[in-house]
Every structure is written in C-alpha cells, then in structure tokens.
Amino acid sequence: MALPRATFLLSARDQPGLVARLAGFFYERALNIVDGSDHVEAGDEGTARFFTRLVIELDDPRLARDAIERAFGELAATFDSTWSVGYSDRPSRIAILVTKESACLYDLILRQRQGELACEIPLIIGNHATLEPVAQSFGIPFSLLPITPDTKRAQEDRMLALFASHRIDLVVLARYMQVLTDDFLRAAPPVINIHHGFLPAFQGARPYHQARARGVKIIGATAHYATIELDEGPIIEQDVARVSHQMPIDELIRVGRDIERNVLSRAVRAHLERRVVVHDGRTIVL
C-alpha cells in the first residue's frame, strides 16, 4: 500500500538559502522529499517571490503531523512567507454546480472514479433538474436550487449552508450558467469556473458565436478561479483546437465541449494536487 504523503505549498520573499533551509528541514527529520518544484518570479528591488511545492513521504504512521506543522511554521515565519499543507489520506471534498450540460460533469465524476482526481464528490447542485439522473446514477446527492432574480440571494445562502454541512473544500462550476454574487464568492471556498472561450478574447455570453463572427481559426476554453470581475479571475489552464470556415456553430460548440471538459478537469486536478498559487492576478502552476 502506498504511504501517505504531505504536500507543502509555500510562497516567500526570494532570498538566498531558501532551498537549502527547506530541504534541510526535511532531511534533519529523515523525511524523504519525493517530488518538488519551485519557481522564482522576478521583481524589482526585493519584490521577487519564491514559490515551492514539496511532497513528503510519511513513512512512519506515528509521526505527529501537528508537530511537523508547528516546526515548519516556525521555519516559515523566519522568511516572509505564506504556506499550506495537505495530506493524501485526507482528500479534498468538492461540490459541482451544473445547469443542463452534462459533458463536464461526467468527465469530473468519471475521472474521480478512475482515480485520476484525488477527491470526494459529496454534492452536486443544479439550478435545473436536468442532470439529477446523472448524479443519481453515481449515487451522489443532488440539490435542486433554481435561481430567479428574486430567489438568488436566498439560494446562494442555501448553497453556502450546503457547503458548510458537507465540509466542501472546492466548488467547481461545470458549465453553471449563473453569475454568482460578490457576497457568495467572498463566503464560499475557492471556486473554479470553466469559460467556453479563449480568455481574454470572447468574454461574456455566447463566446462560440463571437468566435465565429470574428472568423478565428482556433477556438479555446479557459479554466480560472472565479472572482468578482466576471471572466477576469486568474487563469489556471487553457487549451485550444483548430477550426475552419466549414464548421457551423453547432460544430464549434461540439469541438469546444471536448476542450472544456479537458481543461476543467486538468485545472481541478492541479488545484487538488496543491500545485496552484495565485500571485499578482496570475497563477503559478508548480
């Protein structure tokens, strides 16, 4: 059986000796770094930032995780840093929000069942009932929360309550066709959205129609963290496909659907693997 692993994600002001001190920290404790990557984002006059992701094998089950965390926190406090840690035996719990389109929902569930996404999916919320049978066929609870202008606030509150009761760590908008309020976004766990266009081109509604009207030769999709500015959140992943004048709009939509599901799943995977840091409106994907 695979040993549990801890993944540390740290962002610090760049300074000499960071790698040596971090690597030394684990070496002294006989903890093996099984995967690691780092990045320095250049900046002016002491604004450069250092980012690192370190995966540690926890081969001794009696290891006191809180003791390690405490000691790591003391080290991290000596640099100007923020950090977090996750454990492979405590998978994230995600809620998926949907409307009527099934492709992204299926893709997330199937990859989770396949073992490609290290998470639990205890909750699916739809503003339409269309995809309830999909949730049921996989035995996942489905909450129907239709939204009208009048009910939006109340339904968003219900969603937040559901996130709390299901201990949700991440919300995934899998072609959820509703704009969320600022209050909701401030109160919710991190939210990943899939935009069916190659941002920053084709923001807003009907991006494939926009793309066809402009005559682009390549279309795309973008997964990003949802922020208060619609379609302006930090981009986690994008992908594209070549199109031609011969493709009518429904063919663009079909090609786009394949890109969307792949891009969304890759973004969710990167987030779950604790690879993504947001810095200055952009993501560093370690």
Asked whether position 191 contacts its own copies by CB under 8 A, the answer is: no
Q: How far apart are CA 110 and CA 118, in angstroms?
A: 12
Does 148 bind its own copies (CB under 8 A)? Our answer is no
Structure tokens at 96: 């998926």
3-state secondary structure of 24: helix
Q: Is the dihedral of CA 153, 272, 117, 92 positive or negative?
A: negative
Q: Per CB under 8 A, does 132 bind its own copies? A: no
Could you say whether residue 283 binds its own copies (CB under 8 A)?
A: yes
Cα(41)–Cα(50) distance, integer angstroms: 6
Of 61, 78, 114, 205, the one binding its own copies by CB under 8 A: 114
Enzyme catalytic residues: 231
Q: Which of 69, 120, 132, 258 binds its own copies (CB under 8 A)?
A: 258
Check: CB of residue 226 under 8 Å from CB of residue 238.
Answer: no
The verdict on 7 binding its own copies (CB under 8 A) reads no
Pick one of 67, 164, 179, 213: the residue that binds its own copies (CB under 8 A). 213
User: Does position 137 bind its own copies by CB under 8 A?
Assistant: yes
User: Peptide bond preceding 248: is omega within 30 degrees of 0, i.e. cis?
Assistant: no
Q: Which of residues 193-212 bind its own copies (CB under 8 A)?
A: 198-202
Q: Does 234 bind its own copies (CB under 8 A)?
A: yes
285 near its own copies, rule: CB under 8 A: yes
Q: Please state the closest distance from residue 158 (CB atom) to its own copies, in A.
A: 29
Taking each helix axis from N to C terminus, what angle separates 207-214 and 249-272, rounded to the nearest 10 degrees?
Answer: 120
Of 6, 55, 59, the residue nearest 35 (C-alpha): 55
DSSP secondary structure, 174-189, as one string: SS--SPPPHHHHHHSS
Which of 63, 103, 140, 162 contacts its own copies by CB under 8 A? 103
CA distances from 181 to 146, 151, 196, 233, 239 (A): 15, 12, 20, 14, 27
Based on the shown chain and the rule CB under 8 A, indicate whether residue 37 belongs to the binding site for its own copies: yes
Instruction: Pick out residues in 260-279 that bind its own copies (CB under 8 A).
Output: 262
- Our finding on whether 179 is near its own copies (CB under 8 A) is no
Residues making contact with its own copies (CB under 8 A): 16-17, 19-21, 23-24, 26-27, 30, 32-34, 36-42, 102-103, 106, 110, 114, 116, 137, 198-202, 213-218, 220, 234-235, 237-240, 244-246, 248, 254, 257-258, 262, 281-285
